[in-house]
C-alpha cells in the first residue's frame, strides 16, 4: 500500500511548527531563524537562505556528532545554502523514485527537503558517502539516508528513538551547510 506524500500527510494531521531564534553569534546573525520541529509532527516552510545561490548547489558531505544534550547532523553544500524545508512524524521514510520504505528504524522520522543535488550535471556524484548510514554512536538518531536526488530535489531523512524533545534546523555559511540539532533529555 502506498503512503500519501509527506506534505499531504502532515497537512492532514494538522501539524505544529514554530520558528524560533537560537542565540546567535555575529556570523550567524544574518541567517534566517531556525525551524523548530515539535515532536508531534513537522512541516516547516522552505527556509530562504540569505546567501545567494545562483549556480547549482551540490551536497558534498554529511557529518554527524554526539553532544551531551543533542545529536547533530550537518549537510555540507558546494555553492551556498539551498532553500530547505522540514517534515516529520511517525511514518517511515520512503525513497522518492521507488516509493520503497527506507530501512531505518525509529519512533519518529524527519526529512530535510532541499533544492540541491548530490550529483553534477554529468551525473557524477558530488557526495561520495553512503546513501544509508546507521548511527549507533549517536544517542537518539538511529540513522540517516539520502531519500531523493532527482532533478534538483535532494532529500535527506533520519530516524530517531523515543526521548527527542526538539529538532532545530538552521543554515550556516563559510562553509555552506544546514545544521540539524536533535535535542534529547
> Is 0.85 topped by the overall pTM?
no
Q: Each residue of 38-75: b (16+ CB within 10 Å) or e?
A: ebebbbbeebebebebeebbbbbebebeeeeebbbbbb
CA dist 52 and 39 (Å) reads 31
Strands (DSSP E) contained in 42-176 are 42-47, 59-66, 70-77, 84-89, 108-114, 132-134, 141-150, 153-160, 164-172
How does pLDDT run along the chain (185 residues), one tens digit per residue?
444 444 433 333 332 222 222 333 333 334 455 555 544 344 445 555 544 445 789 999 999 999 999 999 999 999 999 999 999 999 999 999 899 999 999 999 999 999 999 999 999 999 999 999 999 999 999 999 999 999 999 999 999 999 999 999 999 999 999 999 999 98
The three-class DSSP label of residue 150 is strand
Total Cβ atoms within 10 A of residue 144: 28
Q: Which fold would CATH assign to domain 6-184?
A: Immunoglobulin-like (2.60.40)
Amino acid at each position: 500500500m502506498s503512503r500519501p506524500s509527506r506534505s499531504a500527510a502532515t497537512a492532514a494531521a494538522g501539524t505544529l511548527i514554530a520558528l524560533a531564534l537560537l542565540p546567535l553569534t555575529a556570523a550567524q546573525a544574518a541567517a534566517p531563524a531556525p525551524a523548530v520541529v515539535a515532536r508531534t509532527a513537522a512541516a516547516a516552510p522552505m527556509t530562504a537562505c540569505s546567501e545567494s545561490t545562483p549556480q547549482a548547489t551540490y551536497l558534498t558531505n554529511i557529518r554527524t556528532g554526539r553532544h551531551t544534550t543533542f545529536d547533530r547532523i550537518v549537510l555540507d553544500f558546494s555553492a551556498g545554502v539551498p532553500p530547505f524545508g522540514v517534515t516529520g512524524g511517525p511514518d517511515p521514510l520512503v525513497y522518492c523514485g521507488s516509493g520503497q520504505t527506507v530501512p531505518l528504524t525509529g519512533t519518529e522520522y524527519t526529512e530535510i527537503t532541499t533544492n540541491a543535488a548530490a550529483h553534477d550535471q554529468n551525473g557524477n556524484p558530488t557526495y561520495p558517502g553512503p546513501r544509508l548510514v546507521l548511527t549507533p554512536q549517536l544517542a537518539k538518531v538511529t540513522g540517516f539516508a539520502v531519500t531523493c536526488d532527482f532533478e534538483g530535489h535532494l532529500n535527506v531523512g533520519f530516524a530517531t528513538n523515543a526521548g527527542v524533545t526538539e529538532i532545530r534546523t538552521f543554515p550556516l555559511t563559510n562553509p555552506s551547510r544546514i545544521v540539524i540539532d536533535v535535542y534529547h533529555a
